[in-house]
Chains A and B, each alone.
Chain A
Amino acid sequence: METIMASASDVENKLEPLSVLKSNLAVNVKQRKRSDFLFSLVGLMSLLFALITLLALFVDLAMTGVPRIDLAFFAEFPSRFASKAGILSAWVGTFAVMITTAFCAIPMGIAAGIYLEEYAPKNWLTRLIELNIINLAGVPSITFGLMALGLFVYKLQLGQSILTAGLTLGLLVLPIIIVTTREAIRTIPNSIREASYGLGATHWQTIQDHILPYSSGGILTGVIIALSRAIGETAPLVTIGALTFIAFLPSSPVSPEYPFLSFKWLMDSFTVMPIQMFNWISRPQAEFHVNAAATGVVLLLMTLIMNGIAIFIRYRFRKKMKW
């Protein structure tokens, strides 16, 4: 501390009497160090608070739920007997809705991201669109549900189907995919583009062979984060009329006759895991609460695995990049 004070006072000793400055500085440094320490303490406390709360919730959930999880729990339909009830229709529903969501949102989101980053002219219209996309990402999910109820269920007559749910959640996560795609593309140095053009590649060739491969790690991460948000959404699905009790599965996607693929399941009714969980937690019987906790654990693990994959993909692609 002495040396700091000394050097500082050397610089400024022409302006102020040395003694005044010295004592001022000492107080100042002490104060700053103290507030620095205080801030790091506050930061650490906040971090611990968030982590411990999360951990406590998860441990509590797991302690109630994990003993209930066995294979039968995944293989049984809901039932009025808590011990016989399972999440078969719920996880199949969640799975089907997620696939539909992915098909709706991923191609459109990535295409929109590429367009905005690579092709769109930089004018007021583009800026307006950008602003709106960022705003859309913050719109409460129930609003998407209401819009979907009016548009998909009634106007387009798609009914309370897996397709409606997929489209709704697709729209909900579209802004996330667009924004992450753009950010991934932006991390690619301009010199790569210039090198590609310099060798005579067209704009599209540049995108196809360089931009997309190099940014795919970031894009995939965004996609998975978007899907792991969609998997826990309840409000918009309740709004469009997802069911609570459904003891059968959607029609099979494969059929024995030509053309072997069937898309009838898209129009089937469905339920998803968060809705099943909500129904069980609001029952009076404690055994159903255990089922709800078990469903919660499964849902959390699914989200965790998806996020894990996202981190893994990002890590792999980072390692591959060589500039």
Chain B
Amino acid sequence: MNKKFLLMLIGVLSFKSVHAQIVQANGSSTVYPITEAVAEEFQKEFKGKYKVTVGISGTGGGFKKFCRGESDIQNASRPILSEELENCKKANVKFIELPIAYDATVVVVNPKNDWVNEITVEELKKMWEPSAQGKVTKWKQVNPKWPDNDIKLFGAGADSGTFDYFTEAVVGKAKSSRGDYNASEDDNTLVTGISKEKNALGYLPMAYYIENKSKLKALAVISQDKSGKKNPAVLPSKETVENGKYIPLSRPIFIYVNEASLKKTEVAEFASFYVKKAPELVTAVQYVPLPSKAYDLVKTHLEKKKLGTVFNGHSEVGLKIEDLLKKESKL
């Protein structure tokens, strides 16, 4: 232990004649754990030759910086939006879009709740749409089979990407939600709230559910085809997200790489290291990796520097991995 202390002191006072090159990543807090893991491994691999910093400013805030050319890598929990595309164009920032993992939102209730095990997207909409505000206050109002108890809703705060995606997937329009629910930017607060309230229902990023499985009960989600046919109920799990059955509440997450930055060796090295290590590290931080076919495609995109986005400036709800692959291969 004393040796370590000494090393630390030497570290603090050490002379650095060569200033190492720095890769700057910024953006979404959802993607952060993956980029952090990659950055950690990357610095170990190159033994301090390259340095990486990762900041958190949200997907939206991150894109603002990215499109001013202030960051090399942008972590994004949704595709770039039209407005942001405009900004990037104005500043002449070109980018390569790389899907790197899948993330899912889980609908959870209190473990003592014995009346609901599965829920349709329709029912979720009834609870969460803006017009439900002040009106839909009992479980019975959503489904007559459910008891006449007050319904206590918990959800993400309006600045989070989870909020954007959940509202888009359930209500049909991003950021359109009722306002009279317990909102928190801190998902741990939501976990505590739901685990203490028998009549609670809320939504969370998958990682928070996995860590708190004993305190929460996940609901199987019943989605609808475009034709109106109901799909069987699907519980969220790594498998159902990976095979595209858990829809519409799963989504791809991305990193965007500034094309100009790629000319710097450290950024180029980091980006290819990211894609190479993603399958292993994504699993390690408890996200769902894309199929290996997808990573191969992503790798070629990076190698051939395929610019632009495949999403035309808006998120797509319930995108299956095959669809993503099809989209990506068209680029």
Contact = CB atoms under 8 A, between A and B. Distances in A.
A264 B19 CA distance: 10
B1 A71 contact: yes
Nearest to B41: A80
Interface in B199-214: 205, 207-208, 210-212
B207 A284 contact: yes
B51 to A, nearest CB: 5
Nearest to B8: A75
Contacts of A279: 56
A1 B213 CA distance: 69
A70 to B, nearest CB: 7
A72 B4 contact: yes
Interface string A240-268: 01111111110110111000000010000
Considering the complex of A and B, which 6 residue pairs feature the smallest CB-CB distances, nearest first?
Answer: A245-B54, A75-B8, A284-B211, A284-B208, A80-B37, A284-B207
7 contacts: A71-B8, A72-B1, A241-B65, A243-B54, A246-B54, A251-B19, A264-B19
B186 A282 contact: yes
Interface string A171-209: 000000000000000000000000000000000000000
Interface of A: 70-72, 74-75, 78-80, 88, 92, 241-249, 251-252, 254-256, 264, 269, 279, 281-286, 289
Given A92-B12, A247-B39, A247-B52, A285 B1 contact: no
Contacts of B284: 80
Given A75-B5, A252-B16, A80 B33 contact: yes
Nearest to A283: B33
**Which of A88, A284, A289 has most B Cβ within 10 Å?**
A284
A254 B39 contact: no
A274 to B, nearest CB: 14
Contacts of B35: 245
Contacts of B188: 281-282, 284, 289
Given A79-B40, A244-B56, A251-B16, 7 more contacts: A75-B4, A241-B65, A247-B52, A264-B19, A282-B188, A284-B205, A284-B212
A75 B7 contact: yes
Interface string B44-81: 00001001111111000000010000000000000000
A47 to B, nearest CB: 30
Nearest to A88: B8
A257 to B, nearest CB: 9
A244 B5 contact: no
B286 to A, nearest CB: 8
A107 to B, nearest CB: 26
Nearest to B42: A247
Interface string B190-231: 000000000000000101101110000000000000000000
B20 interface: yes
Contact of A243 (B11, B53, B65): B53
A124 B14 CA distance: 54
B212 A248 contact: no
A80 B36 contact: yes
Nearest to A289: B188
B285 A248 contact: no
A269 B8 CA distance: 19
B15 A282 contact: no
